Structure 1
Amino acid sequence: MNIPQAPLRSVYLYVFDGFADWEPAFAIAGINSPEFQREPGRWRVQTVAVGSGVVVSAGGLSILPDRQLAALQPADAELLILPGGRGWDQGEHLDSAHKAAAFLEAGVPVAAICGATAGLARIGLLDRRRHGSNAPAYLNGLREQGYGGAEHYVDEPAVIDDEGLLITAGGMAPLEFAQAIFARLRIYREEVLQAWYQLYKTGRSQYFAQMSEAAA
């Protein structure tokens, strides 16, 4: 008897020329790696871009996007990741910020790190939500460009808003960014997630053994 396969759960990574490929690296590696997951093999990362041509990251990786941003719908995704990188500080990539707004409106989570938080700030998405970024001064510099959420700024490496839909982080916190994404999507059991974080935070191999035991 053939048992129907459960549909894959897609997490979309917005990519563009010069995007900071190291910022979502922990997150996308964990999502795409079935080892230790609650439901191994149920998750995949797909890339999305404004155009259909090859995108080159800040680290020189050439990526052919899986989908185009304009065609992406919240119903197709479990989460949208917006990395930092070239252009955000000049007000570019606002199409992706508006796509993030559509996701949040539909109840689909969004995770933004580093410069991507500035894009969300420019269109007012941070005005009433708990959020973080690179530093308070980084977003305060955008007050004349649409940012009015200074009172909701939380000075932590990664922040999840009260609805549990928006994850924001500073560019210095890719590990905490990934941890928050994993927690929101419930990819790992809590014991596994804590061991995973300690493994990469401390570099101590004992936590790999704890991950294996907790996953088993």
Structure 2
Amino acid sequence: MKYAYAYVLDTMADWELGFVIAELNSGQYFKSRGSRIPVKMVGASNRPITTKGGMTILPDLTVDEITHETSAILLLPGADNWNDPEHAPVVEKAKQLLDVGGNVAAICGATTALANSGLLDDRQHTSNSLEYLTLFCPTYKGAACYKDEKIVADGSNLITTGAAGGLLLAREVIALLDLFKNETLEAWYNYFNTGDCKYFYTMMETLQESNSSIRN
């Protein structure tokens, strides 16, 4: 069984992972009907954390329990206290996963943790801005690899985006893991990006086509 591991920490921006967690855990639009990628909440310890939105989350496991063999992707949300030393183990876990071909997606403040650790020095990436990284990451040396884009997939297994990239993050994770049909993903993204119901109906049609193919 492969899991999506979502790191949780006090002050985390709970909304930033909302789209991707919902789609991975439910599997409602997967091209392989009836499948899903369960989401496990990972903490620095087993203690409950409180999100910026005031929700209390009890971790399912700790960082040391993550393995490459069971990891579909490691999701790193933004938060106000990424510079706390207790979060160093998950940054090291991200490095271990990337080194062996595992998948990591980081948004907003999580990119500063990766930048400070040197993980972005030689990988294409983005964040809230280049100025943001240089201001908050004194050891950052990855400016040459910075892309002034809303989201960047490193060409392999690292996805980075800024604070407003929650929907884009979900789209790129879904694409990386090859979970939706291409036309389903396009309609899904367009619907939530624009709110235009025509894209919702298009998405439903792509799912009906999948079911029809299975029956035939």
Superposition pairs of residues 125-164 of structure 1, within 5 angstroms: 125-142=119-136, 145-162=138-155, 164=156
Q: Taking every aligned residue pair, what percent have the same amino acid on both sides?
A: 39
Query: Which of 104, 110, 120 matches 1:116?
Result: 110
* Residue ranges of structure 1 left out of the alignment (5+ in a row): 1-7
Q: Is the 8 A contact 2:42 2:60 kept in 1?
A: yes
Partner of residue 32 from structure 1, selected from 25, 32, 38: 25
User: Which letter maps to 1:31?
Assistant: L
> Is 1:173 paired with 2:174?
no
CA distance in 2, matches of 1:38, 1:59: 32
- Residues 71-80 or 116-125, more deviating: 71-80
What is the alpha-carbon distance in structure 2 between the residues aligned to residue 134 and residue 90 of structure 1?
A: 20
Provide the alpha-carbon RMSD of the alignment. 1.5
1:55 matched to which residue of 2? Answer: 49
SS of the residue 2:14 aligns to:
coil
Match of 1:84, SS state, is: coil
The match for 1:22 is: 15
1:85 and 2:79 correspond: yes
* Mapped pair 1:199 → 2:191: yes
Give, in angstroms, the shift of residue 43 of structure 1.
1.4
Partner of 1:3: none
SS in 1 for 2:16: coil
Distance 1:196 1:92 in 2: 37
Of residues 100-109 and 70-79 in structure 1, the stretch that sits farther from structure 2 once superposed is 70-79
Cα deviation, residue 89, structure 1: 5.3
Aligned residue for 1:12? Answer: 5
CA distance in 2, matches of 1:103, 1:188: 24
Q: Normalising by structure 1, what TM-score?
A: 0.91
Secondary structure, counterpart of 1:22 in structure 2:
helix
In the alignment, is the contact (CA less than 8 A) between 2:25 and 2:38 conserved in 1? yes
Kindly indicate which of the two structures has a greater share of residues assigned to helix. 2
User: Counterpart in 2 of 1:41?
Assistant: 35
Distance in 2 (alpha carbons) for counterparts of 1:140 and 1:180: 25
Question: Distance in 1 between the 2:13 and 2:108 partners?
Answer: 9
SS of residue matched to 1:159: strand
Pairing 1:94–2:70 present: no
* 1:119 counterpart letter in structure 2: A
Which amino acid in the other structure matches residue 146 of structure 2? Y
**Residues 90 and 47 from structure 1, CA distance in 2 versus in 1: closer, same or farther, beyond 3 angstroms?**
closer
1:30-87 deviations in whole A, cap 9, x for unaligned?
1112222122333111110011121111111111111111222222211000001120
SS in 2 for 1:97: helix
2: CA distance, partners of 1:44 / 1:146 = 35
* Alpha-carbon separation, structure 1, partners of 2:84 and 2:49: 19
- Structure 2 residue runs of 5 or longer lacking an equivalent are 209-216
